[in-house]
Structure 1
Amino acid sequence: MKLLPKLSLFVFILVASTALIAIFVSINTIRSINYDLNIQLIEKDLNNVHHFITDKYSALKKHDLHHVKNYYQKAIADTQAILSTTELINKGYLVILSESGQEIVNSSLDDGKSDKDLMDSKYLVSIQQSMTETAFSQADIKNSIKISELSHINRVVFYKKIPEWDLGLFIVLENDELYSRLNDYINNITIKFIIVLLMALLAGFLFSRYLVTRIRVALKQIHHVQNDEMNARIKNIQANDEISELNSGLNQMTEIIADKIRKQTQSEKEITKSKIALQEQHALLSAFISAMPELAFIFDETGEYIEIFGSNLKLLCAKKEDLLGKKLTSFMPELIAKQIMKTIDTTLKTHQPQVLDYNMEINGTNTYFQGHTAVLDFEHKTSPDLGLVILIAHDITEQVLAQKQAYKLSLYDILTELPNRRFLMERLDQEIARAKRHEQSGALLFIDLDNFKIINDNFGHLIGDLLLIEVAKRLTQQLRKEDIAFRLGGDEFVILLSNLDNNILTASIKAQTIAQKILEIIQETYILKDIKHHISCSIGVVLFPENECDSQDLIKYADIAMYKAKDEGKNSVKVYTSHMQALLEKHLQLQNDLRIAIKQSDLTIHLQPQYDHNGLIVSAEALVRWEHPDKGFIPPGEFIAIAEESGLIHALGRSVIILVLETLQKLLKQKVSSSFKRIAINVSPWQIGQKDFVTEMEALLEKYQIPASYLDIEITEQTLIGNFSVFAKKMEQMQNMGFYFSIDDFGTGYSSLSYLKSLPVNMLKIDRSFIEELTKNKNNDAIVDTIIVMARHLGLEVLAEGVETKVQLDFLKQHDCHFYQGYYFSKPLLIDDFINVLSNQAAANQ
């Protein structure tokens, strides 16, 4: 049964019970009150009767009982009159008995009854018997009234003793008579109480219904909340009682719950969104961790493997399942395990990330790792020294090997695999210190290849590199075990000779002997890509530690000695002396001055005439001249060598060509001689080896409007060494443009005479060294004659250089040499002087 019906039933039972109790209490109370009231009235009546009789018949003696009876009628009448006023007792009997129980008076109290209606004798006997036994025996002399209920005769007896007469006054009433009015009153009261009860029950029922209805409204609101109907509210709350407060509280509670549900829903949405994002991040992180090439380990403070992540599990020292739950000391080498444990301990104590590098053998390969640690901090840690540490191990094997390779590359030359300058500097300092400590002399050989740039420019860097590799091999093959060959860069090499001797002179001899052997092996033929090449070198030697200097100074001194060897004709060995420093400084200063002279166009050209067998000037050779503002005239052999070494030869050669073209403009404009054909220009191997040399020459001819046939390009046999095919192609291309080609200093080079039939050459110029020895040396004469005959058979013209005597000229004419040049005819002339000579020649021949 629900609470509300129970409440209604409870109210109903409560009201009914209350009413019944009230009726019962009221009836008993009324009964008691009415009973007491009747008793009091009867007592009053008895007293009245007693006083009336006493007062009225006080003169009578007690033995004058017959007088009492005589006055009976009058006493009864008076008594009835008195009793009738009470309206309470009018249904009983008045009896007077003597002390012995003798009936004296027996009369009805109802004035409507006669004497015949006296009390039944059976009742009188019972009263007499009872009174004799109880009333009279128990009555005191006080004028109190006694009551005795004779239940067996259904009578109630009221009696009072009259002591002065020894009589007893009795009023006998029937029970029904005594309580008749009371019962009527009780019945009346009962009916009224029943009506009140019914009204109370109805009121209780209606009140309970009212309460139930209002409570059901609250219950309905609670059901709405239970069913998540948060928009429902209790309306029309107007009363100001507890239920209204309850309903208002329910509305407030519903609003609070609705607000919390809204917030909870929003929170759940956010949580759901966060969960989704977290799941996505977790999936991404899991994929990342699984795919990352690194290994991630989680260790506890004891070094136990808690978890292992990463895709490159092949780098583990054992299987993952074998490692988990075990300590790293069980699997790793002792030293590495101690190193990692120390790092874990430091990480936990400092809460700072740590880095460690270690390497160990994995699958037979030495693998390098770099580990980064961090603390996995949790709130439930009981001690700062306890906890978990994550270690991310990067496989840096490739990086380490690359660093080692880089270090090697930093110490070794990539091309030749010889130690480089950095290695030399480190080793040289050690060797100087060791030589001082053991009093042993050593030496440094600085080697520079002669004319290497010609090969590099004309055959390309591939051939040049192959040549350098071969030179490196030859150098290392000639060294002792304790000696080291280095490549400084380009075509420069250094050889460090250790422990030569404790005697400085002996050490110097040994160093020069080794240097001479190197000269010999470097000059041997190189076959590169099926082509023969030749090269020489210049070597500077410096001894240590007698020269109190460091490694930088030693290299500088050896370099100075090497340049001295080049200045003296190359392909030689020079030992450093102190005066070489001044020569080097002079050399460097001159190099800088030459750069300025070329830039400021301070160079000039002189023209040395070239004659035919008729003595006419048919051409001239352009000779560059440099008048230094402080040092005066600088010989061409000196500054041209500097230009070649410093790379200024290209700028120098271009300047000379421009000067020649400007000179030709003047000559052609003045038309000084119809016999004049061309000006010869000596072109260096570096210059003609340039890729754009042909294009550049063509552009210059176009700029100055000079026909190519007015230029005679002189090349040396040395230029053709190893560069034949390259130069032959360029020469053929330029000859087709109209250029004239001559081989200068013919007979002094190493080229095969077979080149002559393949090259687009127009003239051979016999070197002055052969002309100087004419008529003095038969072999020399034979060589000159052979050159002239060979040129005739090849269809080439021949010019003799350095003709200075008539004897030389006569020999040349006898052997049909075509052209002559030398001081016998003319020294090199200024341009204006050369023009004047041509003008005079033209005037003389008119």
Structure 2
Amino acid sequence: MKIDKVVNALTHQFVTNDPLHQLFDAVNAISVQGYDEQRRVIYWNKGSEYLYGYSAQEASGQKLEDLIIPPPMQDAVVSAHTNWLNNDEEIPAAELILQRKNGAQVCVFSSHVMFINQYNIKQMYCIDIDLTDVKKAQGQAVFKEKMLETIFEAIPDLFFLMQEDGTIVDYHASNENNLYVNPDEFIGKRMFAVLPDEIAIKFQVNIALALKQKVMVSFEYELKLPKGTVYFEARINHVPQYEQVMVIVRDITEQHKSDELIRHQAYFDSLTSLPNRFLALDKLSEILKSANEHKVNAAVCFLDLDDFKKINDSLGHEVGDKLLIEAAARLQGTISDSGMVGRLGGDEFIVLLPNLTCAKSALAIIDKLLKNFREPFKIEGRELMVTLSAGIAMYPENGSSASDLLRNADTAMYQAKAFGRNTYSFFAKQMNVVIQRRLAIEEQMSSALERNEFELFYQPQFDVKNKHIIGAEALLRWHNPVLGNVTPDEFIPIAENTGLIVPIGKFVISQALHFLNEWQGSCKHEQKYTMAVNLSPRQFRDEELLRFIQNSLIDADVNPESLEFEITEGVLMSCHTNVVDILTEITALGINLSLDDFGTGYSSLSYLREYPFNVLKIDRSFIDGIVLNKEDFNLVRAIIAMSHSLGLTVVAEGVETKEQHTLLKQLGCDFMQGFYFSKPIPAKQFLDFSMNFDKK
């Protein structure tokens, strides 16, 4: 019998089921199949076509096990169907993995029902629901659950699920060392009854806040645990749909330590651990506010260590740092609870003295400080003497703001330095005149070079025996439109402190060498003049100094032997670490070195032996008294004799009278300069002076 005839015959047998088929035909989302007693397809709805991929025409007459049952299941399916037909053992509904037309697997929930038609023939209907999306959703849910479990285990936070009244219903802790008590002691109990009172109140207040404001709230607290004090951050979120509260607690101890370190670095000096400038000024503002409210006095003391720079440069920064640490400890030990000590930077300290009745109260403390610093410091087996200079500004007399008082105390400290150091000075209003002048000079000098305000004057140097000019000293002069003529004694120290001396010094070297070239070119006697130029301590820190000198000599076409650098004792002391190398290299170029202002320092004799000097200049302070003062006369005679024995040329500066000239000539002084011959004069006037002198 052909297949079409079989199908028609089968269909004819089941005509009684047409209404049921019409119902199933209307449902595309569910697969419904009908099978005869030989498990051949007698019905196949649209849902089955979508699910398994076979059309109704393709499926009709095909056996169940050959159509959608995977080979491993076929025997079991045939056996189950036979048992149902013969023994009335129903096939239970179950999840099954069946097979599509293309061989792909599909997961279904399969239910089965058995009908007996009017011909007494049994037919089985299968109703299959596609579980693909369900299984996918279940898989995602399981994955998310596992993922959350993994995340919970990885996160070190504590999680507490509570009722709105604070009763703990569940928790999670990957590290139970951060739990204040064991879980069996807090599950089912209110958190407020478990924690210490102070922390419990914080939780109670913040949970109430979260319930009221419907937003997450957070706060920090600390607990003493067996492992020590631990700092926590708690975040509280209300879950209104479940009438519960989620609390997440994080250990922020390391962050707290880092924040404390950052705060300490921001407010305290890293070397001495004293309050730094920022914290000191903040504390001073608090002191002034309190002093104003209680109508009392306060004092700001600006302290500076005397001669610290010499120790730091000569013995090294390591010794200098240890000295600063010891000095800070001595200051704190002296002040104790009567005030606050801070470090402003370098060797500058500040002492704040609140709640004073009068200036005498501050003076008693400062006197004690000065006395304690007169005792030597013992650093690395050395005894170092370092005294204090102190400037004192009183509130409200000397200022009402922290900045005014600090500035005025600083001014008073410089006055104490001028008094000879190792002393104190109270601020006086007239000191402001000095500081205002200094600030004005700094302001105007910052761009004086660009405005061409500097000019070189030249003072001739004379050969005593031959009575002719042998050279000149270049001296810097400054005329400013605002300040007028500013003396070198005023602007040179300020230029040194600000670092402007470096570009200004280069200007002097360049101008002096070009003038020397012009001067030598104008001389008809082919006289080999020399030019003396001063070098300051700050210039020796300039890494480009030697290269600049070499280039300047080449640019001006001047022989190095015609250039002489005058060096003061301050240069030798402030540049101790590299001065020998630099001076040696200068000498190697053929340039002469002169020790300036000899006799004003306490160790100049050792420098004559240690450094490669060619010339020694006797300071004018000794020349002034050479006629009337026997001691000065004998000292000058000894200096000249000693210098000649060392092969040095001697220059006397500040010669102003004929009597001085006569005595110096008798003592064998080589060269002289001073007002007796000529004051420093501008370049053009100097050339005229030189030419006229040569005609004599």
Settle same-fold status: TM greater than 0.5: yes
> Which of 551, 556, 559 is matched with 2:407 structurally?
556
Amino acid of the structure 2 residue aligned with 1:552 = S
> Which of 540, 544, 547 is matched with 1:692 structurally?
544
Contact kept in structure 2, 1:624 and 1:656, CA below 8 Å: yes
Query: What do residues 89-147 of structure 1 show as CA deviations (whole Å, max 9, x unaligned)?
Result: xxxxxxxxxxxxxxxxxxxxxxxxxxxxxxxxxxxxxxxxxxxxxxxxxxxxxxxxxxx
Contact kept in structure 1, 2:600 and 2:619, CA below 8 Å: yes
Query: What do residues 307-343 of structure 1 show as CA deviations (whole Å, max 9, x unaligned)?
Result: 4435443222244566555553454212212322443
Q: Which residue of the partner structure matches residue 486 of structure 1?
A: 342
Contact kept in structure 1, 2:303 and 2:391, CA below 8 Å: yes
> Which of 415, 418, 424 is matched with 2:280 structurally?
424
**CA, structure 1 residues 688+306, in 2 after alignment: closer, same or farther (shift >3 Å)?**
same
Contact kept in structure 2, 1:455 and 1:722, CA below 8 Å: no
Amino acid of the structure 1 residue aligned with 2:273 = E
> Which of 472, 484, 509 is matched with 2:328 structurally?
472
- The alignment-based identity, stated in percent, is 32
Contact kept in structure 2, 1:607 and 1:829, CA below 8 Å: yes
Contact kept in structure 1, 2:370 and 2:422, CA below 8 Å: no
Amino acid of the structure 1 residue aligned with 2:13 = V
- Aligned: 1:401 with 2:224: no
Query: 5 Å matches for 1:93-242?
Result: 212=13, 214=15, 221-222=41-42, 231=54, 233=56
- Aligned: 1:652 with 2:475: no
Bigger radius of gyration, 1 or 2?
1
- Aligned: 1:711 with 2:600: no
Per-residue deviation at 1:365? 1.6
**CA, structure 1 residues 809+512, in 2 after alignment: closer, same or farther (shift >3 Å)?**
farther
Amino acid of the structure 2 residue aligned with 1:598 = L
> Which of 475, 486, 499 is matched with 1:634 structurally?
486
**CA, structure 1 residues 335+539, in 2 after alignment: closer, same or farther (shift >3 Å)?**
closer
**CA, structure 1 residues 270+811, in 2 after alignment: closer, same or farther (shift >3 Å)?**
farther
Query: What do residues 28-51 of structure 1 show as CA deviations (whole Å, max 9, x unaligned)?
Result: xxxxxxxxxxxxxxxxxxxxxxxx
Q: Which residue of the partner structure matches residue 298 of structure 1?
A: 161
Query: What do residues 753-793 of structure 1 show as CA deviations (whole Å, max 9, x unaligned)?
Result: 33332212222222111111214333333332332333233
Q: Secondary structure at the match of 1:725?
A: coil
Query: 5 Å matches for 1:426-505?
Result: 426-432=282-288, 435=291, 441-448=297-304, 465=321, 468-469=324-325, 471-479=327-335, 481-498=337-354, 501-502=357-358, 504=359
Per-residue deviation at 1:836? 2.9
> Which of 637, 641, 647 is matched with 1:795 structurally?
647
- Aligned: 1:743 with 2:584: no
Q: Which residue of the partner structure matches residue 396 of structure 2?
A: 545
Per-residue deviation at 1:600? 1.2
Contact kept in structure 1, 2:178 and 2:225, CA below 8 Å: yes
| Distance in 2 separating the partners of 1:580 and 1:704 | 45
Contact kept in structure 2, 1:511 and 1:541, CA below 8 Å: no
Q: Which residue of the partner structure matches residue 229 of structure 2?
A: 366
**CA, structure 1 residues 675+415, in 2 after alignment: closer, same or farther (shift >3 Å)?**
farther
Q: Secondary structure at the match of 2:635?
A: helix
Per-residue deviation at 1:579? 3.0
**CA, structure 1 residues 315+591, in 2 after alignment: closer, same or farther (shift >3 Å)?**
same
- Aligned: 1:731 with 2:583: yes
Contact kept in structure 1, 2:156 and 2:174, CA below 8 Å: yes
Q: Which residue of the partner structure matches residue 610 of structure 1?
A: 461
Say how many residue pairs are matched. 604
| Distance in 2 separating the partners of 1:214 and 1:719 | 124
Query: What do residues 681-714 of structure 1 show as CA deviations (whole Å, max 9, x unaligned)?
Result: 2222112123333333334334444343332222
In structure 1, list runs of 5 or more residues that go unmatched.
1-207, 238-257
| Distance in 1 separating the partners of 2:502 and 2:321 | 22
Report which stretch shifted further, 300-309 or 818-827.
Answer: 300-309
Q: Which residue of the partner structure matches residue 314 of structure 1?
A: 177
**CA, structure 1 residues 546+514, in 2 after alignment: closer, same or farther (shift >3 Å)?**
farther
| Distance in 1 separating the partners of 2:520 and 2:422 | 44
**CA, structure 1 residues 467+776, in 2 after alignment: closer, same or farther (shift >3 Å)?**
farther
Query: 5 Å matches for 1:253-268?
Result: 268=131
Q: Secondary structure at the match of 1:414?
A: coil
| Distance in 1 separating the partners of 2:44 and 2:388 | 110
Q: Which residue of the partner structure matches residue 334 of structure 1?
A: 197
| Distance in 2 separating the partners of 1:591 and 1:515 | 33
- Aligned: 1:597 with 2:453: no
| Distance in 1 separating the partners of 2:176 and 2:613 | 73
Query: What do residues 569-612 of structure 1 show as CA deviations (whole Å, max 9, x unaligned)?
Result: 87764432223334433332232222232221210011111222
Contact kept in structure 1, 2:370 and 2:388, CA below 8 Å: no
Per-residue deviation at 1:801? 1.6
| Distance in 2 separating the partners of 1:415 and 1:826 | 54
Per-residue deviation at 1:390? 2.2
In structure 2, list runs of 5 or more residues that go unmatched.
1-8, 18-33, 61-99, 101-105, 110-127
- TM-score scaled by length of structure 2: 0.75
| Distance in 2 separating the partners of 1:475 and 1:210 | 114
| Distance in 2 separating the partners of 1:331 and 1:707 | 92
| Distance in 2 separating the partners of 1:425 and 1:793 | 59
**CA, structure 1 residues 595+267, in 2 after alignment: closer, same or farther (shift >3 Å)?**
farther
**CA, structure 1 residues 652+396, in 2 after alignment: closer, same or farther (shift >3 Å)?**
same
**CA, structure 1 residues 397+457, in 2 after alignment: closer, same or farther (shift >3 Å)?**
same
Q: Which residue of the partner structure matches residue 515 of structure 2?
A: 663
| Distance in 2 separating the partners of 1:211 and 1:484 | 112
Per-residue deviation at 1:360? 0.6
Report which stretch shifted further, 287-296 or 441-450.
Answer: 441-450
| Distance in 1 separating the partners of 2:152 and 2:303 | 57
**CA, structure 1 residues 304+638, in 2 after alignment: closer, same or farther (shift >3 Å)?**
same
**CA, structure 1 residues 351+279, in 2 after alignment: closer, same or farther (shift >3 Å)?**
same
Amino acid of the structure 2 residue aligned with 1:623 = L
**CA, structure 1 residues 744+267, in 2 after alignment: closer, same or farther (shift >3 Å)?**
farther
| Distance in 2 separating the partners of 1:209 and 1:827 | 141
Report which stretch shifted further, 299-308 or 660-669.
Answer: 299-308
**CA, structure 1 residues 763+583, in 2 after alignment: closer, same or farther (shift >3 Å)?**
same
Amino acid of the structure 1 residue aligned with 2:281 = M
| Distance in 2 separating the partners of 1:537 and 1:468 | 12
Per-residue deviation at 1:546? 3.3
Query: What do residues 273-301 of structure 1 show as CA deviations (whole Å, max 9, x unaligned)?
Result: 44444444444433332222333333333
| Distance in 2 separating the partners of 1:733 and 1:460 | 23
| Distance in 1 separating the partners of 2:561 and 2:140 | 86
| Distance in 2 separating the partners of 1:371 and 1:270 | 40
Contact kept in structure 2, 1:351 and 1:375, CA below 8 Å: yes
**Greater strand proportion:** 2
| Distance in 2 separating the partners of 1:209 and 1:491 | 113
**CA, structure 1 residues 420+394, in 2 after alignment: closer, same or farther (shift >3 Å)?**
same
Q: Which residue of the partner structure matches residue 357 of structure 1?
A: 220
Per-residue deviation at 1:625? 0.6
Per-residue deviation at 1:356? 1.9
CA RMSD of aligned residues (A): 4.2
Amino acid of the structure 1 residue aligned with 2:56 = R
**CA, structure 1 residues 221+742, in 2 after alignment: closer, same or farther (shift >3 Å)?**
same
| Distance in 2 separating the partners of 1:210 and 1:403 | 85
**CA, structure 1 residues 789+306, in 2 after alignment: closer, same or farther (shift >3 Å)?**
farther
| Distance in 1 separating the partners of 2:456 and 2:669 | 27
